[in-house]
Amino acid sequence: MNDARRISVLHITDLHLFAEQGRELLGVVTDASLEAVLDLALAEATPDALLVTGDVTQEGDAGAYQRASDIVAQRFSGPSLWLPGNHDLGTAMQAAGPGMDRLELGDWLIVAIDTHVDGEVSGHIDAAEFECLEGLLTRAKAPHVLVCGHHPPVPVGTSWLDTQVIDNAAQLLAMLERHERVCGYLFGHIHQAFEAMHGRLRIIASPSTCFQFEAGSEQFAVSGLSPGYRWLNLRADGSIETTVHRVERIRVQPIRRKRGY
Ligand SMILES: [Fe+2]
């Protein structure tokens, strides 16, 4: 294996930015937390690409997308892939236009899929999105593919979040399994680190850049874990080496309550 051909990717997710600077959500100032995550990660290494898997904003306003885009652009000038989450609004995000929906880097194609429906919490993939993904996977020349979306395709063991799995995930997973170039699916939404296998597919989620949900909790709960991010090394043989890092200096107060946010 030629490790010089590996692609280094930084994954950040669930930024929950507001249009106004300095706003707090569940005890975390979301823009300051994003800045701290990027500053720490980019001091460690410069990635070949940045992946941002949804909930870029909390309320879907244009100003918040601009702020997210500016915060990233001030620190990283390489290629980035952005996709929407349940807190985003498709049209506003498209108009703001941060980043690309696919990246070709060395031996890897990285593809974004849209699993969000405006105003809905749960994930769904519409027919047009499936058709587009099928076309991309069929035409892919890169030997390896990583697919990215916002919502989980499998239960993650946190029961209140497991009601929000992509409702037609079986169709997605069958498509990804059929195309042997696909090595994994990377997502956000669950505000916690997660890794599993589905057949040969790596199923991977990363911590949020702001607050984290308590893993294994039956009802809404914010854990005391700090904001985080994930490094992925995409290797020339199709394997993925990955680690999660956190901004330990940002302390978060755990929260338990019946309703979400
Ligand atoms: Fe989120």
Which residues neighbour 10 within 8 Å (Cβ) at sequence distance 6 or greater? 41, 42, 47, 49, 50, 51, 229, 230, 231
pLDDT score recorded for residue 137: 97
Ligand 1: centre distance to CA 37 (Å): 16
Query: What would the pLDDT profile of 158-181 be if each residue is shown by its tens digit?
Result: 999 999 999 999 999 999 999 999
Nearest to 43 by CA among 247, 192, 251: 247
Which residues neighbour 106 within 8 Å (Cβ) at sequence distance 6 or greater? 5, 6, 7, 48, 142, 234, 236
Measured from the Cβ of residue 224, the count of other Cβ atoms closer than 10 Å reads 12
Instruction: Decide which of 3.30.420.40, 3.40.50.450, 3.60.21.10, 3.30.70.1730 is the CATH code for 3-253.
Output: 3.60.21.10
Ligand 1: centre distance to CA 134 (Å): 27
pLDDT score recorded for residue 94: 83
Distances (CA, A) of 234 to 20, 34, 67, 171: 36, 24, 29, 25
Ligand 1: centre distance to CA 1 (Å): 37
Which residue stretches of the chain have pLDDT < 70?
A: 1-2, 97-100
Ligand 1: centre distance to CA 158 (Å): 14
Ligand 1: centre distance to CA 141 (Å): 33
In whole angstroms, what is the distance from residue 208 CA to residue 211 CA?
6
Ligand 1: centre distance to CA 208 (Å): 7
Ligand 1: centre distance to CA 188 (Å): 7
Ligand 1: centre distance to CA 226 (Å): 15
Ligand 1: centre distance to CA 55 (Å): 5
Query: What would the pLDDT profile of 197-240 be if each residue is shown by its tens digit?
Result: 999 999 999 999 999 999 999 999 999 999 999 999 999 999 99
Give the chain's length.
Answer: 261
Ligand 1: centre distance to CA 171 (Å): 24
Nearest to 228 by CA among 94, 34, 49: 34
Alpha helices, DSSP H, located in the chain? 30-44, 62-73, 90-96, 127-139, 169-178
Which residues have a beta carbon within 5 Å of ligand 1, which is an ion?
A: 14, 55
Ligand 1: centre distance to CA 220 (Å): 13
Ligand 1: centre distance to CA 213 (Å): 9
Ligand 1: centre distance to CA 4 (Å): 34
Ligand 1: centre distance to CA 101 (Å): 19
Ligand 1: centre distance to CA 86 (Å): 7
